[in-house]
Amino acid sequence: MTAPARALTVSESATVHTVLAVPGMHCAGCMGKVERALAALDGVTSARTNLTARTVEVVHQSEIETPALVAALAAIGFDAQPREIEAEPVSAVKPLLAPLGVAAFACMNVMLMSVSVWSGAEGTTRSLFHWVSALIGVPAIAYAGRPFFASAWKVLRHGKTNMDVPISIGVTIATGLSFYETLSGGAEAWFDGVLMLLMFLLAGRVLDAMMRDRARSGVDALLRQVATGAMVVAADGTTRWLDTKSLQPGMLMRVAAGERLAADGEVLRGQTRLDQSLLTGESAPVQAGPGTLVHAGTLNVDAPVDVRVTAIGQDTALSEIARLMEAAGQSRSKYVRIADRAARLYAPAVHTLAGLTFAGWMLAGAGWYQSLVIAIAVLIITCPCALGLAVPVAQVVAAGALLKKGLLVKDGSALERMAEVDRLLLDKTGTLTLGRPVPDDVALDALSAPQASVALALASHSRHPLSLGLVQALSARGIPAAILEDVREEPGQGVTARWNGLSVALGRPASAQGMATALRIEGDPVRVIPFADRLRPDTTEALVWLEALGVESSILSGDSVTAVAAVSHATGLTAQAAASPADKQEAIQRLQNAGRKVMMAGDGLNDGPALAAAHASIAPGSASDVGRQAADMVFTADSLLAIPRAIRVSRQTMRVVRQNFVLAIGYNMLAVPLAILGHVTPLIAAIAMSTSSLIVVANSLRLAGEAK
């Protein structure tokens, strides 16, 4: 094709797919709004939202640019970012769905044959049914059993064992025996039992994977809320937005007030204060001027500054923390999950039992063939069908209940470790406290209604942290914003405007003591609103609850001794202050060496190594990327009650898991004597298997209402 013709097709009718992340979308109403707003644009063919991934896929003409789509969503109040293709998460559920489908199909059809055999089909009819069963069953077992065979082979090669080893052995031997029976025209084939077993086990795996997928997409949605990038000023004075990955040393970043630095650098122009609490835990902002070295992740509080990038990515101050975290995560990866611990005891026990049965029948004078068939019946009846469901069903139900309370559980192992915790270390800034300035209630009460609405209107024009705090507090009180004219924000000074002909301003108070802002309205006295970082709501209640759970708590903070002492006094907790990331990790190590199971609650980059080293960890949704990724659970609500709730639900979950084990094994116990005596038929195996699975599922569902 010639070049002009190709250019023509592109400009006329090329449709492109764009995927946007919309983290704020969480209900049917949002989905409808997003889809309608995008579809209303000229040149958009279709827009389809995905609520699970919090994304929208837009099919549109190529002349519409991505920023236009983002702007359309911004107009209806949704933040959106183009989704990077390589960031597409791999679903853990998808590879298991096809084996589950095959197992379910084959199980149903083979069961159809089996029912006829059980009801008395004989001779050639029975033989025909067995052959049809084998024809469906053998390929289906080979396909649907692959996830188990692969996992069993992997651990066996390293000389270990897990739940998949007895499953694989049972499945293989039972299939082999059934095939032999079919060939020799025997009376009993077990294809239906094997397929049912695989179906139940795969259902358990799918549930487990669903929980991980759901938590990960939740965390991904939180991560995408943070714009990672910087406004870069070129040599000719033009500015453009670059994402973090495209930043290069030597570039000049212009960092507005309220923005986080995307890279390490040196301040070139401007005077400001920087909030380094995510990095160091220190709550008081530090002064920065020309020549000050600044770090990625710090928040610019006061005024815009120009920063020369000195280091990016691996070279930043963060790499030190990343190195500590890598070392810290190793102890946790050694944790053996409860199902595998159970398998360590269970697998040798059932294999010994089957071996003894075989030996017993041989001694009793039965033939090779009969002894082998009975031994295999023992293996099949003890195959851990309900055991495969015992853990995932309980954990999925609990994770679902916690999600409704704003707690994201990363995976099932998190619930298992969280249940064992008996010691809690809390970071101060951002974890025990909200980590953001909150205006004083008394000062807000003192404002008249018009004053408050002017303050809200002024604050809404600024991205300064104090303004954001003021907007949040006043909006929560249901105050409407006044209508202003001539709004202007002067960096470092505040916002000025005209309201009903009067000049109004929100800015730095004349005598700055701590954090405060001053509201000036022409003709009125100046109103000073003090700000402070407050304790999270329900802190006292949460600490009482933790004590009732037998968890000893204390503060582990990187902030200065005086700042920590104030919070320590308010909460009655002992505290360690001025701890570096390595100190925090060491404190946890010391406690764990003394036999305590330590839980870490923290949000900052400086908490990363501690979060990774602790037996279990939790981070608030406002935490740094590092904190959220290192933690086992993330809580999105402000209330500190999330922490005791997480521990209590985890313990309840493990109680139900243990009950499930007892129920599942107990059921097997009843059937095992029958099997050893040689009375178990495929019919009895099928009934035992499905009933014990149903009981386990029903018992787990009791957890649904537990996360109160």
Partner 1 sequence: MNGVAFMLPIALGMGLLGLVAFFWSLKRGQFSDLDGAAARILIEDEEREP
Residue 704 touches partner 1, criterion: CB under 8 A:
no
Give yes or no for residue 592 binding partner 1 (CB under 8 A): no
Among 8, 32, 89, 541, binds partner 1 (CB under 8 A): 32
The residue among 131 and 180 lying less far from partner 1, judged by its C-beta, is 131
Q: Which of 427, 559, 607, 632 is catalytic?
A: 427
Site residues (CB under 8 A) for partner 1, limited to 531-590: none
Note whether 4 binds partner 1 by CB under 8 A.
no
State how far the Cα of 361 lies from the Cα of 87, in Å rounded to an integer.
59
Region of 24-32, 257-265, 377-385, 592-600 interacting with partner 1 (CB under 8 A): 24-32
52 interacts with partner 1 by CB under 8 A:
yes
- Which of 193, 340, 15, 328 lies closest to 689 in space, CA to CA? 193
- The tally of CA atoms less than 13 A away on the side-chain side of residue 312 is 18
Does 59 help bind partner 1 (rule: CB under 8 A)?
no
DSSP annotation of 637 reads S
**Binding residue (CB under 8 A) for partner 1 from 97, 183, 698, 704:** 97
Residue 76 in contact with partner 1, rule: CB under 8 A:
no
Residue 511 DSSP symbol: S
133 binds partner 1 (CB under 8 A): no
Give yes or no for residue 655 binding partner 1 (CB under 8 A).
Answer: no
Stretch that binds partner 1, among 101-109, 385-393, 513-521, 652-660 (CB under 8 A): 101-109
The correct pick among 38, 58, 117, 136 for binding partner 1 (CB under 8 A) is 136
Nearer to partner 1, 36 or 569 (CB): 36
Q: Contact with partner 1 (CB under 8 A): which of 19, 31, 231, 570?
A: 31
Question: What distance in Å separates the CA atoms of residue 249 and residue 270, rounded to the nearest whole number?
Answer: 20
Q: Tell me if 108 contacts partner 1 by CB under 8 A.
A: yes
Specify the residue, 53 or 301, whose C-beta has the smaller distance to partner 1: 53
The residue among 13 and 124 lying less far from partner 1, judged by its C-beta, is: 124
What is d(CA 21, CA 54) in angstroms, rounded to the nearest whole number? 6
Q: Quick check: 338 and 276 in contact, CB under 8 A?
A: no
Among 101, 176, 185, 666, binds partner 1 (CB under 8 A): 101
Pure H helices in 299-384: 318-333, 338-363, 368-381
Other CB atoms closer than 10 Å to residue 352's CB: what's the count? 10
* Token pair of 310 as six digits: 């000195």
CB of 662 to partner 1, least distance (A): 32
Q: Which two tokens stand for residue 250?
A: 């030597």
Q: What are phi and psi of 516, to 5 degrees?
A: -160, 160
Q: In the bound complex, what is the minimum distance in angstroms from residue 139's beta carbon to partner 1?
A: 12
* Among residues 10, 14, 28, 687, the one that binds partner 1 under rule CB under 8 A: 28
Query: Is position 27 an interface residue for partner 1 (rule: CB under 8 A)?
Result: yes
Round to the nearest angstrom and report the end-to-end CA distance of the chain.
66
- Of the listed pieces 28-36, 371-379, 455-463, 630-638, which binds partner 1 according to CB under 8 A? 28-36
292 in helix, strand or coil? coil
| 147 versus 258: smaller Cβ distance to partner 1 | 147
Among 61, 66, 109, 475, contact with partner 1 (rule: CB under 8 A): 109
Cβ neighbours of 229 (radius 10 Å): 18
By CB under 8 A, is residue 92 in contact with partner 1?
no
User: Is 77 an interacting residue with respect to partner 1 (CB under 8 A)?
Assistant: no
Q: What's the half-sphere exposure (Cβ side, CA atoms, 13 Å) at 380?
A: 37
Distance CA 638, CA 472 (A): 13
- Stretch in the footprint of partner 1 (CB under 8 A) among 49-57, 288-296, 602-610, 652-660: 49-57
Of 618, 626, 632, which Cα lies nearest the Cα of 553?
618
Span interacting with partner 1, options 76-84, 96-104, 294-302, 630-638, rule CB under 8 A: 96-104
> Position of tokens 């990327």?
625
Total of chain residues touching partner 1, rule CB under 8 A: 28
Q: Any contact of residue 636 with partner 1 (CB under 8 A)?
A: no
Strands 407-409 and 633-635: antiparallel
Q: Can residue 50 be called a binding residue for partner 1 (CB under 8 A)?
A: yes
| ∠ Cα 706 707 708 (to 5°) | 95
Token pair listed for 245? 């990955």
243 is catalytic: no
User: CB of 463 within 8 A of CB of 258?
Assistant: yes
**Residues 89 and 21: beta-carbon distance below 8 Å:** no
One residue of 76, 98, 512, 561 binding partner 1 per CB under 8 A: 98
Distance CA 66, CA 50 (A): 18
Q: Quick one: 57 or 524, whose CB is closer to partner 1?
A: 57
Q: Name every residue whose Cβ is closer than 8 Å to that of residue 332 and which is 6 or more positions away in sequence.
A: 417, 612, 613, 615
What are the structure tokens assigned to 177, written together? 């025996």
Active site residues: 427
**Residues at the interface with partner 1 (CB under 8 A):** 27-29, 31-32, 35-36, 49-53, 91, 93-94, 97-98, 101-102, 105, 108-109, 112, 124-125, 128, 132, 136
